[in-house]
Structure 1
Amino acid sequence: MESIASSLLSLAHALFQPGFCPGDWVWATSMAGALIGLVPVAGMVLVAIVRKFTGNRYHGPALFTIGGLGLVFVLLLPLLLTTGVSSVYRAVFAGGTGGLSGAERATLGQEFCFVGVQAEYLGGGQNIYETLFYPGGSVLAYGYYLGALVGLPILALLAVMLLGRVALRRGPKWPGRLLWVPFVAFVLFSVGVEANTAVHLWLGFLPATVLGVIPVALVGPPSWSTIQKSDRPPEPRRPEPPRQPPPYVPPAEQQPPPPPPPKQYPPTSVAPSQDAAALAAAPGPVPVPPGSGEAGSGRFRRLRRLGHGGFGTVWEAQDTQLGRTVALKIAHAPDRDTEARMEREARALAALTHPNCVRVYDLVEEPDGLALVMEYLHGQALAEAVDTGGPLDDVSAGRLWATMASALSAAHDKGVLHRDVKPSNIIVDPEGLPHLIDFGIARSRGDSKLTATGMMIGTPDYVAPETAGGAPASPASDAWQLAATVSYALSGYPPRGTRETPMAALMAAARAEPPSRLPRQSVHARLLMASLDPQPRNRPTLRAVCREVEGWLARAGQSADGPVTKVVPRAR
């Protein structure tokens, strides 16, 4: 290794050797430190390149590769080069060659200012450990070495941690330990290096690692589509049933008579073990639990109309049997297609359980049509809360984004798309907590008969570009609508601004006009821009958004499950 170190020193001396104080070889030592500092930078660049293909898949080969790059490029190579440079200077001071040429050794014997003879200054003093724990000079000299041999490595550690964070952008930060812990080990293992040599090596190492952020940043983070693939949970493997030994067959003369055939029963319509997701996708009527309302039973007493949409009217009603207030959604025209649509909707929503999603209780026959019985949420719509109380701050908007992203992710896991996420479809309860409502145009994936041909899905100001252009809805379009809703909560305006007519807003969405009313001063501005990308494949997944926002809230000392607005007075 001494020959490699001597070649490194010769290269550094050829690149940078000013002939003034403190000496050409002292300056060359700092240049050698800069070259050594490029080694961890190269390792971080390789980590960033690996993540371009693996995303956030931190297990198996990817994790082993990142850990190996940290071990080689942050610990082993810098340690070997640093100790090799010190060994070269010590060998020259002791009268050896150290792998340097005669002319180079001759210049090492020159004296400069306070340094004296360079060979003695760089190779004839105490090592780092002796200098720090057995000081022999003045207090001023000890302070100089303490700042250089402790302060500079600490600053270099911060630079290496910054390199790791840049290389691990758009992902968890815990793998960064595989990159900066080896650097701490490198600092500890290099205590045998000559102190003066170490000082000048660190003086070159530090700026090289700081400037190394530039090439690592130029590599760029992995695309959101790669992250989405890496975040997708692996398909569970079904365990093979254990092999049973063949049954014992007694001799023919001892065999008992065969048992009578089992009694046959007619099959049931829905198996008790059928899970929620399969139930949501299964055709046929919604299973009605005991005690559910029957046609014309008058079980639900309507109190007041809450809303009127494209597929039904929502009432606040009183369940006279259970004594609770519910939201009753009744179809406008209960024909065959509408009833089939509401049955699918009820089945899909019954499979969804999330604290920030409205709950579905039942599907009943009312005198004027099929009715969906849902949880009644006290409070006010987010649109009204922003309109009366003003835009939300970054913490409240972060809580809103994280909870709603979690709720939509839970819906997507059940195969349910909301398709109309907007400020008026988020209710803020009296405790200030948000709830996603009105899955009135929700659909299960693969169901193509939920809406009439030509029916526009969504609200124009908050519709995703691909949906406005006629493409089918997807989890990415729900993520776009949620980001548009968060942008409204932060600014008070839809991201594309307002238009005079719904048709003008729809045309702006179909043309994928860029957002013009984003909250530029918000800490969420960068993530909003990524989530409102016109290309669905470029948007971060809802899980990635939730992880990013919850991480920011944690760093800000806030919880993601807190209120998003002030306490809303309960309606009387």
Structure 2
Amino acid sequence: MESIASSLLSLAYRLFQPGFCPGDWAWATSMAGALVALFPVGTTACVALMRKFTGNRYHGGALAGLAGLGVIGILLIPWLLVSGISGVFRSVFQGGSGGLAPVEVNALQEEYCSWVGPQDQYLGGGQNVYETLFYPSGDVLAYGYYLGGLVGLPVLILLAVMLLGRIALRRGPKWPGRLLWVPFVVFVLVSAGVEANTAVHLWLGFLPTVVLGVIPVALVGPPSWSTIENADRRPDRTPERQEQPQQPVHVHPREPQAPPPPPAKQYAPTSVAPTPEDAQGELAAVPGPVPVPGGSPSGGSSRFRRVRRLGHGGFGTVWEAVDTQLGRAVALKIAHAPDRDTHERMQREARALAVLSHPNCVRVYDLVEEPDGLALVMEYLQGQPLAEVVDNGGALDDVAAGRLWATMASALAAAHSKSVLHRDVKPSNVIVDPEGVAHLIDFGIARNKGDSKLTATGMMVGTPDYVAPETAAGAPASPASDAWQLAATVSYALSGYPPRGTRETPMAALMAAARGEPATQLPRRSVHAQLLAASLDPQPRNRPTLNTVFREVEGWLSRAGTSPDGPVTKLVPRQQ
């Protein structure tokens, strides 16, 4: 190792040898420290590159590889080189050559400063680090110099190494960073036998190289979200959701006909818990015969007694009603115009909700013909839309917003696992019940992969302030589009504003979405700001999947001492 160290010193001497105090070889030693620091920088760059393929899979070979890189690149090689450099100077001071050329040995014996003396004595004939720190000579000024050079510089370098580790481990847990900075701490401790003056100059060169090493490590970039998703897909870590029983939609089929063959899959499921291709999944993929609504014929009496109107829009009216036969409260969604497109949309929403069974998704009970139009009979949810909750009570805090994000991500993921897209996630389509639990409603423009079109006249899908850029630009909707809209809804819950801000007209908002204008109203002080920025990326491929969002938010809630199952708000004004 001494021959390798002497070669490294010779290279450093040729690269950097200014002829001023304390001497050309002293400065060449700092250059050698900069060259040694390339090994920790290269190690963290290798870790970042390795994660491009392994994601956050820290077990087995990946964990062993990470630990091996830390021990070899940050502890073993730097320690051997630093110890070898100190041994070369000690050998020259004792009359040897240390592997250096005669002309280099002669230059090492030159004196540049009277208070330094010959360089071979300055670098190889003094106390080592341990003796200098624990057996000081009594000179307070000199001891302060050595304390700063032998303790202060390594501490700064340690912080830089920890920063390198955090950059290399972006989009993942931070605990594997210990496998990088702990070897450096050991390296500093085992270097206590190095000559003190040599160590100071080595650390002086080591520090700027490690700090500048942040640039190449950052350029390697984090692993893609798809890589992280594939690495994290483990059955033992999937969150379990208690499914509630659901009554099927009662429909009367037309004349029997053979169902069409299932079309090719258009996107990968992103469920929170992997689900097999069961009968319900096939129902989402192959709608089968178009159902004919049952119930009272047009002009006849209704079994549903309407209590009050809950909402009214361009598509239809939603009523709170009572099922007189079963004696329960329901929500009755009645379409305005009973044309073919309206029937298809109602049937599509009924099918979409019928295949879902999730505690945070509104349930559908029946599809009936009311005297004034086709009606969808759904679960009645008491509460307020999230938009009203925020408008009346103010923005949510990080814990409430985290619960909202986790539960809605789980609900959407359950829909995606059945090949159903929501396509209109927004604050008014999230109902917060009196217990503070959020529910996703209004799957009226949802489509499954068996549907060939939305409507004959529909040009824009979704609400402009909350529509994903690619959808606004005319591209097909995808699970990433739903994930964008959910992130926009959470951003609104935290800030009180849509992520792109408000526009004067819906068309202006749609144009801003189609241009992919950046989000300017994000809650910068929220702990969720970084994940929100990633989820609102204009490029769908760069966004984290709903699985990843669920795990990230659930992990933060767990570290905060709470769970995603709690209320998202108490539904009381903030002054109370």
Counterpart AA for 1:27: W
Which residue is 2:70 aligned to? 70
1:5 is the counterpart of 2:27: no
C-alpha separation in 1, matches of 2:395 and 2:320: 29
Q: 1:514 aligns with which of 474, 498, 517?
A: 517
In structure 2, do the counterparts of structure 1 residues 362 and 286 end up closer, same or farther at CA, with 3 Å as the change threshold? farther
1:535 is the counterpart of 2:539: yes
Counterpart AA for 1:441: I
CA deviation after TM superposition for structure 1 residue 213, in Å: 1.0
The 8 Å contact of residues 362 and 439 in structure 2, kept in 1 or not, is answered as: no
Q: 1:359 aligns with which of 350, 355, 362?
A: 362
The 8 Å contact of residues 397 and 564 in structure 1, kept in 2 or not, is answered as: yes
Report the TM-score, using the length of structure 1 for normalisation: 0.77
CA deviation after TM superposition for structure 1 residue 433, in Å: 4.3
C-alpha separation in 1, matches of 2:338 and 2:572: 36
1:415 is the counterpart of 2:419: yes
CA deviation after TM superposition for structure 1 residue 15, in Å: 3.2
Deviations 1:210-244 (A, max 9, x none): 2211222233334556556656679xxxxxxxxxx
Q: Which moved more, 1:145-154 or 1:224-233?
A: 224-233
Which residue is 1:190 aligned to? 191
CA deviation after TM superposition for structure 1 residue 83, in Å: 1.6
Which residue is 2:428 aligned to? 424
Deviations 1:298-340 (A, max 9, x none): 6643321212355553222335566553333344566777666
In structure 2, do the counterparts of structure 1 residues 558 and 105 end up closer, same or farther at CA, with 3 Å as the change threshold? farther
1:25-64 aligned within 5 A? 25-52=25-52, 55-56=55-56
The 8 Å contact of residues 345 and 445 in structure 2, kept in 1 or not, is answered as: no
C-alpha separation in 2, matches of 1:137 and 1:559: 58
State the superposition RMSD in angstroms.
4.0
The 8 Å contact of residues 317 and 326 in structure 1, kept in 2 or not, is answered as: yes
Give unmatched runs, 5+ long, in structure 2: 236-258, 260-276
Q: Which moved more, 1:278-287 or 1:311-320?
A: 278-287
Report the TM-score, using the length of structure 2 for normalisation: 0.76
Deviations 1:21-53 (A, max 9, x none): 444333332222122112211222233344445
The 8 Å contact of residues 432 and 566 in structure 1, kept in 2 or not, is answered as: yes
CA deviation after TM superposition for structure 1 residue 424, in Å: 0.7
C-alpha separation in 1, matches of 2:410 and 2:116: 64
1:122 is the counterpart of 2:123: yes
C-alpha separation in 1, matches of 2:434 and 2:115: 74
1:260-339 aligned within 5 A? 274=278, 276-281=280-285, 283=287, 300-309=304-313, 312-319=316-323, 324-332=328-336
CA deviation after TM superposition for structure 1 residue 110, in Å: 4.1
C-alpha separation in 1, matches of 2:158 and 2:558: 23
Which residue is 2:273 aligned to? none
CA deviation after TM superposition for structure 1 residue 379, in Å: 2.5
Deviations 1:181-236 (A, max 9, x none): 332343344344334433332232223212211222233334556556656679xx
Which residue is 1:16 aligned to? 16
Counterpart AA for 1:471: A
Which residue is 1:205 aligned to? 206
1:85 is the counterpart of 2:85: yes
1:68-217 aligned within 5 A? 68-111=68-111, 112-129=113-130, 135=135, 137-138=137-138, 140=140, 148-217=149-218
Q: Which moved more, 1:25-34 or 1:134-143?
A: 134-143
Which residue is 2:239 aligned to? none
Q: Which moved more, 1:389-398 or 1:102-111?
A: 389-398
The 8 Å contact of residues 300 and 319 in structure 1, kept in 2 or not, is answered as: yes
**SS of the counterpart of 1:363?**
strand
**SS of the counterpart of 1:489?**
helix
**SS of the counterpart of 1:95?**
coil
Give unmatched runs, 5+ long, in structure 1: 235-268, 288-292
The 8 Å contact of residues 493 and 517 in structure 1, kept in 2 or not, is answered as: no
C-alpha separation in 2, matches of 1:470 and 1:317: 38
Q: 2:467 aligns with which of 447, 459, 463?
A: 463
CA deviation after TM superposition for structure 1 residue 99, in Å: 0.9
Counterpart AA for 1:99: G
**SS of the counterpart of 2:368?**
strand
Percent identity of paired positions between Structure 1 and Structure 2? 74
In structure 2, do the counterparts of structure 1 residues 119 and 508 end up closer, same or farther at CA, with 3 Å as the change threshold? closer
Q: 1:381 aligns with which of 382, 385, 393?
A: 385
The 8 Å contact of residues 380 and 429 in structure 1, kept in 2 or not, is answered as: yes
C-alpha separation in 1, matches of 2:424 and 2:234: 27
In structure 2, do the counterparts of structure 1 residues 360 and 207 end up closer, same or farther at CA, with 3 Å as the change threshold? same
C-alpha separation in 1, matches of 2:563 and 2:114: 59
In structure 2, do the counterparts of structure 1 residues 92 and 556 end up closer, same or farther at CA, with 3 Å as the change threshold? farther
1:440 is the counterpart of 2:444: yes
Deviations 1:119-148 (A, max 9, x none): 33433445445555x636449466765654
**SS of the counterpart of 1:301?**
strand
**SS of the counterpart of 2:209?**
helix
In structure 2, do the counterparts of structure 1 residues 302 and 9 end up closer, same or farther at CA, with 3 Å as the change threshold? same
C-alpha separation in 1, matches of 2:523 and 2:545: 22
**SS of the counterpart of 2:104?**
helix
Counterpart AA for 1:95: G
C-alpha separation in 2, matches of 1:403 and 1:139: 65
C-alpha separation in 2, matches of 1:555 and 1:161: 21
The 8 Å contact of residues 33 and 203 in structure 1, kept in 2 or not, is answered as: yes
C-alpha separation in 2, matches of 1:361 and 1:494: 30
Deviations 1:45-67 (A, max 9, x none): 23334444555555676656544
In structure 2, do the counterparts of structure 1 residues 319 and 113 end up closer, same or farther at CA, with 3 Å as the change threshold? farther
**SS of the counterpart of 1:315?**
strand
Q: Which moved more, 1:557-566 or 1:183-192?
A: 557-566
**SS of the counterpart of 2:48?**
helix
**SS of the counterpart of 1:157?**
helix
CA deviation after TM superposition for structure 1 residue 351, in Å: 4.2
Q: Which moved more, 1:306-315 or 1:330-339?
A: 330-339
In structure 2, do the counterparts of structure 1 residues 101 and 560 end up closer, same or farther at CA, with 3 Å as the change threshold? farther
